[in-house]
């Protein structure tokens, strides 16, 4: 790849980003977007609901069944478990005590679920504290994920990137030779001589990037190790976008090609 050195792309090898939080945890409900919970998409309720015309009908659940579920899935226990998972994420940048943080997180969760920001369909499950609280409890992971962005935005004082100690900077030049039976095409504007395609859409993207007058260099993110860590429902995942692009303007673009919207 020496003859294509001009197309080399490098990036910081960040293993995580720590948030340094304020000591007093706050949440402005006015800034939080409304959240809609669909009872028909709540698996636990669908599993025990009576079957009507071949489909589970949660509106036919008896009060006895709802009370039994409420005893099994107690708000206090699930709220504490959820708050504990959030604490594990906030711990590196939290300077106060664990006990205060857990108590404050649970209080913020209670304020949010008691507000008008949580909307439940069908409206039947907004009638009565038992039904509403049960639906929210069974969807607490989704509720907290919805709150999480606002909690971070309002309470973060600074961001501290943590680099890989051995390889703080990596580049397309670090890729070793590898072999594949998948479709691939030779590239002109990429440091890596061939681009492997996982779909016809990616093939179309590669063609456009190779011929665009706005693109200075590009590369398919395959065997490069370029990953973005993110938290979804309390679990850390790794996001691997399809392309890394350097534009003529000097700015960088991360591109993902997707056929459908997913959570």
Could you tell me the pTM of the whole model? 0.57
Flag whether 224 is in a domain: yes
Q: Determine, yes or no, domain membership for 179.
A: yes
Q: Find out whether 210 and 190 touch, Cβ atoms under 8 Å.
A: yes
* Whether residue 179 sits in one domain with residue 153: no
Q: Using the 3D structure, point to which of 125, 157, 189 is the last residue of a domain.
A: 157
Q: Are strands 55-56 and 51-52 parallel, antiparallel or unpaired?
A: antiparallel
Same domain, 205 and 88: no
**Model pLDDT, residue 54:** 61
Residue 112 belongs to some domain of the structure: yes
Count of structural domains, the chain: 2
Same domain, 105 and 219: no
Domain match, 221 and 105 both:
no
Answer yes or no: do 227 and 98 share one domain: no
Rounded to whole angstroms, the Cα distance separating 173 from 4 reads 10
- Domain endpoint, select from 157, 189, 212: 157
Residues 47 and 119 occupy one common structural domain:
yes
Task: Identify whether 218 is part of a domain.
Answer: yes
- Establish if 165 belongs to a structural domain: no
DSSP code for 185: E
Of 157, 184, 208, which residue sits at a domain end? 157
**SS3 label, residue 183:** coil
Same domain, 60 and 93: yes
Q: Do residues 119 and 182 share a domain? A: no
Residues 145 and 207 in one domain: no
- Per-residue pLDDT tens, the chain, 263 aa: give them: 667 889 999 988 888 777 777 777 788 888 888 888 888 777 777 666 656 556 656 666 667 676 777 677 777 777 777 777 777 777 777 777 777 777 888 888 888 878 888 888 887 777 777 778 788 888 887 887 788 777 777 777 777 788 888 888 889 988 888 888 888 888 899 998 888 888 888 889 999 999 999 999 999 999 998 988 877 765 678 889 999 999 999 999 999 988 777 77
User: What was the pLDDT predicted at 61?
Assistant: 65
- Do 75 and 181 lie in one domain? The reply is no
- Tell me whether residue 261 is in a domain: no
Same domain for 195 and 79, yes or no, is no
Contacts by 87-96, CB closer than 8 A, 24 or more apart: 89/231, 89/234, 90/19, 90/21, 92/18, 92/19, 93/18, 93/19, 93/20, 93/21, 93/156, 93/160, 94/21, 95/20, 95/21, 95/23, 96/23
Any domain includes 37: yes
Residue (of 141, 147, 20) closest to 73 by Cα position: 141
For residue 167, the number of C-alpha atoms closer than 13 Å in the C-beta half-sphere is 9
Examine residue 96 and state whether it is found in any structural domain, yes or no.
yes
Are 100 and 229 members of one domain?
A: no
* Full residue range of the structural domain in which residue 113 is found: 20-157
């Amino acid at each position: 790849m020496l003859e294509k050195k001009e197309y080399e792309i490098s990036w910081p090898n960040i293993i995580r980003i720590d948030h340094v939080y304020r000591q007093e945890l706050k949440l402005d409900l006015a800034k939080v977007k409304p959240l809609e919970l669909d009872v028909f998409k709540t698996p636990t309720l669908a599993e025990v609901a009576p079957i009507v015309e071949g489909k589970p009908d949660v509106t036919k659940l008896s009060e006895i069944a709802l009370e039994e579920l409420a005893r099994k899935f107690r708000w206090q226990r699930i709220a504490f478990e959820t708050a504990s998972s959030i604490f594990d994420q906030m711990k590196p940048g939290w300077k106060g005590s664990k006990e205060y943080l857990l108590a404050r997180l649970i209080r913020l969760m209670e304020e949010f679920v008691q507000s008008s920001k949580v909307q439940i369909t069908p409206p039947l499950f907004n009638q009565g504290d038992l039904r509403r609280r049960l639906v929210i409890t069974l969807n607490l992971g989704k509720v907290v994920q919805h709150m999480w962005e606002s909690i971070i935005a309002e309470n973060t004082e600074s961001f501290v990137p943590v680099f890989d100690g051995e390889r703080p900077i990596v580049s397309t030049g670090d890729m070793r030779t590898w072999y594949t039976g998948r479709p691939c095409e030779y590239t002109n504007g990429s440091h890596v001589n061939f681009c492997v395609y996982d779909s016809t859409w990616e093939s179309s993207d590669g063609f456009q990037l190779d011929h665009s007058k706005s693109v200075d260099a590009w590369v398919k993110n395959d065997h490069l190790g370029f990953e973005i860590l993110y938290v979804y429902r309390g679990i850390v995942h790794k996001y691997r976008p399809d392309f890394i692009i350097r534009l003529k303007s000097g700015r960088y673009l991360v591109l993902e090609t997707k056929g459908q919207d997913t959570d």
